[in-house]
Amino acid sequence: MADAALGQTTRPFTESADTHYFDFWPGTWYPVVDGRVDTTGSAFIVRRSVNSAAFEEEWVQRFDSAVTRSVAIRAWDQIANKWMFVWVSPNALFQVWEGQKVGSDWYIVKEFDFEGQRFHSRQAWIPDGPDRLVRVMERSTDGGRTWQTRSRTTFQRARAAP
């Protein structure tokens, strides 16, 4: 019966530089707006999960006066040798995004068909110094050959209270 729990492989998890890419990620992240950390805005709350390359995320997004909470799992897949991402929204969206390495950074990529328009979306959370990152959101309408930036937002990790 124990073999059934092992699924695709009996190999132990082998760590590498890629499996440690998101080591910076745990914590609570707030956007930087006009040079100041905005703790009243959106936030990413991230903690390690079942192994050193797995993270549980809570997304708190604020649009005007509305607050939306969603959850996500980001984890290394040792079979595919890439990061994978699953996101669930309060209005019952369930999205699986594939990891894709672009240069030295890991993006998540997903194809969408929204109201008859097909496009690819990709996002990255790129370290930008101690306790800082840049979230990049891009879109492609030509199958991923070219990408247009939708947003670049700097986030700052909240410091623990003294």
Mean pLDDT estimate for the chain: 92
Q: Which residues pair with 5 in a beta bridge?
A: none
Tens of pLDDT, residue by residue over 17-46, are 999 999 999 999 999 999 999 998 899 999
Tens of pLDDT, residue by residue over 102-137, are 999 999 999 999 899 999 999 999 999 989 999 999
Domain annotation for the chain: domains and CATH numbers: 15-157 (2.40.128)
- pTM of the entire structure? 0.89
- The rounded distance, in Å, linking the Cα atoms of 134 and 136 is 6
Residue 4 scores a pLDDT above 80 = no
Determine which helix (DSSP H) or strand (DSSP E) holds 70, and give its type and residue range. strand 66-77
